[in-house]
Amino acid sequence: MNKKLFAILIALMTLSLLGIIFVQGYWITNAYQTKEDQFTFNVRQSLISVSSKIQMRELEDYYTVYSGYVDSINAPDNVNFSELIYTTSDNINNETYIFSDGILEEDYKLSSNFLDTEVDSIQFKKITNKKSKTRLVLGIDGSGAPAKNTVESFSRLKDYERNQFDEMFKNISAKTPIHKRVTGKELEDELKKDLAERGVTSKFEYAVYSNNLSTKIKSRNFELNPDNTYETPLFENEEMQTNYMLHVNFSGKKKEVLSSILGMAVLSLVFTGVIILAYSSALSQLFKQRQISQIKSDFINNMTHEFKTPIATINLALDALKNPKVKDNQEFLTRYLGMIRDENRRMHAQVENVLRISKLEKNELDLPKERLKLHDILEKSISHVSLMVEDRGGYIATHFGALKTSVLGNESHLTNVLVNIFDNAIKYSEDSPKIDVYTENVKNSVILKIRDQGMGMSKAVQKRIFEKFYREATGDIHNVKGHGLGLAYVKRILDDHDAEIFVESEKEKGSTFIIKLHLIS
């Protein structure tokens, strides 16, 4: 994939994911704020309602007592009667109607003892509405006394009296201590009832303050916290003034608001998480595919190089064999034929490596296993590479400490595994290869260690050396030619033998490959 196109694709995917996360975050924040505003609205409405109910209850209680006292008083202090009279006449029927509408005001003084206040007496008016209708019928000739018929009705204007009492009582009750006007239990019960009706279930604490000072009316654990406390006036007068404020604290406010959106928020976060995982997986796959593409390109380039050199050598040797002088010289003839044979074997080995990995990937590689002695396999493998080691002035020293070495395995493939490890130790030794081989028994296993004194590896490289096609490089230049297939083959074969392989290495200090195989009896 083109680098520019790849970068654009990643950028678009990242922007889309960030956009989704932003939208989800905005939605959750907005939903939380909406629920919090709804909670605040419900609480404020509930406090106003409870304050009004308590005030109305107080008025109703005292008005009931007041009405009983008023009805028991007979002699007023002052009486005032206002009357409006008007008449209508019907000349045809000789009838005259006289209408009267009067207001009787009786002033009383009532002891305030029943209100339990410091005021000596309460002045009030008893107002009665008197209505009458008189019908006068004259004689036909207008002589004689007229016939008279009168209908009267009386009614108390109790609504007016009630309003008058309310205004008067609000001013008087302001002098009554708060604990005599309302109890903590009444406040708590009314709050619970009203809040429940509005869907508010959070626990609360309450307190009544007078001029910013706490009164006796409060719950045990109340704390004045501005973030979670709501307030409303209590016992207001006609001028909307009061000495008391009801404070209610909701310590579980955030929990209740969060719980109301928790279901949708969790689902939203889960779906967003799935999208993030899918994005991460897609991004990982894209980078992996791009990396594989690059590795395969390097593999093809290396493979081309590995084949190009032996093919060129074979062609040169064949051209030399055509020379009449060479044909007659047995020494040159043997040398060139040996070169052709060696280069042919080299190409054959490369092809075999590729084919082996291909078969392993398809699970087509036949691995019949038999009882083998690990030390025998090691000696056979060492013999394959001993000439190369000697040619470079190095050595392979064996330190066989294992007394039991019988394992179940495939001789050919285990030999190839060990040859691959020895070959790497030789290739990655800048000076003469110095290789030590150790074996030991640990419980029911035999441990094999192949230690070299070569270039070594970094921690990052150690994690990836068993990956197919992977090869350590300096910048863009591979220091040692190869295909990155050898150790991948080693890992796959050992996995099939239920064996384990590890590597310990340090830059410039060499590497140690550790193989753990299960013993058989």
| Any domain includes 359 | no
Please enumerate in sequence order all residues whose Cβ is within 8 A of that of 128, keeping only pairs 6 or more positions apart, or say none: 103, 104, 106, 154, 155, 156, 157
Identify the pLDDT of residue 216.
85
Structural domain boundaries enclosing 229: 3-59+177-251
- Can you give the pLDDT at residue 356? 64
Which residue in 47, 26, 32, 46 sits closest to 256, CA to CA?
32
pTM of the model: 0.45
Residue 265: which residues within 8 A CB-CB, separation 6 or more?
Answer: 28, 31, 258
Q: How many domains does the chain have?
A: 4
Q: Give the residue from 292, 271, 247 showing the smallest Cα distance to 484.
A: 292
Per-residue pLDDT band at 409 (split at 50, 70, 90): very high
SS3 annotation, 276-332: HHHHHHHHHHHHHHHHHHHHHHHHHHHHHHHHHHHHHHHHHHHHHHCCHHHHCCHHH
Do β-strands 445-452 and 434-442 pair in parallel, antiparallel, or remain unpaired? antiparallel
What is the rounded distance in angstroms from the CA atom of residue 442 to the CA atom of residue 446? 6
- 3-class secondary structure, 147: strand
| Across 341-350, 404-413, 455-464, least confident range | 341-350
- 67 found inside a domain: no
Do residues 348 and 372 both lie within one domain?
no
The residue from 353, 385, 415 where one domain ends is 353
What pLDDT, in 10s, does the model give residues 114-164?
A: 555 555 566 666 777 777 878 777 765 555 566 677 777 767 666 666 676
Whole-number pLDDT of residue 76: 65
Query: What is the arithmetic mean of pLDDT over 271-277?
Result: 83
Q: For 104-118, 206-220, 320-334, which range has the lowest pLDDT when averaged over its residues?
A: 104-118
Question: What pLDDT is recorded for position 362?
Answer: 60
In this predicted structure, what is the pLDDT of residue 159?
67
- Give percent of the chain with pLDDT exceeding 70: 74
Mean pLDDT of the chain: 78
Q: Is residue 434 part of a domain?
A: yes
Q: Please give the radius of gyration of the chain, using alpha carbons only, rounded to the nearest integer.
A: 54
Does the structure show a pLDDT above 90 at 516? yes
Domain end (from 304, 322, 353): 353
| Predicted pLDDT of residue 459 | 87
Q: Which residue has the higher pLDDT, 415 or 120?
A: 415
Residues 373 and 510 in one domain: yes
**Across 148-162, 277-291, 444-458, which has the greatest mean pLDDT?**
444-458
411 SS3 class: helix
Q: What is the CATH number of the domain that holds 329?
A: 1.10.287.130
With cut-offs at 50, 70 and 90, classify the pLDDT of residue 400. Answer: very high
Q: DSSP secondary structure string, 355-396?
A: HHHHHHHTT------EEEEHHHHHHHHHHHHHHHHHHTT-EE
190/158 same-domain check: no
Cα–Cα distances in Å, from 158 out to 60, 71, 112, 166, 249? 14, 12, 20, 12, 41
Q: Tokens 């080299």 belong to which residue?
A: 346
Question: Do 492 and 389 share a structural domain?
Answer: yes
Sign of the CA dihedral running 271, 277, 283, 288: negative
- Is 358 within the bounds of a domain? no
Closest of 232, 264, 237, 262 to residue 248, by C-alpha: 232
Same domain, 228 and 263: no
Q: What is the pLDDT of residues 169-178, one digit of tens each?
A: 666 666 677 7
260 and 283 in one domain? yes
Q: Between these two residues, 437 and 462, which has the higher pLDDT value? A: 437
- Residue 479 confidence class, pLDDT cut points 50, 70, 90: very low
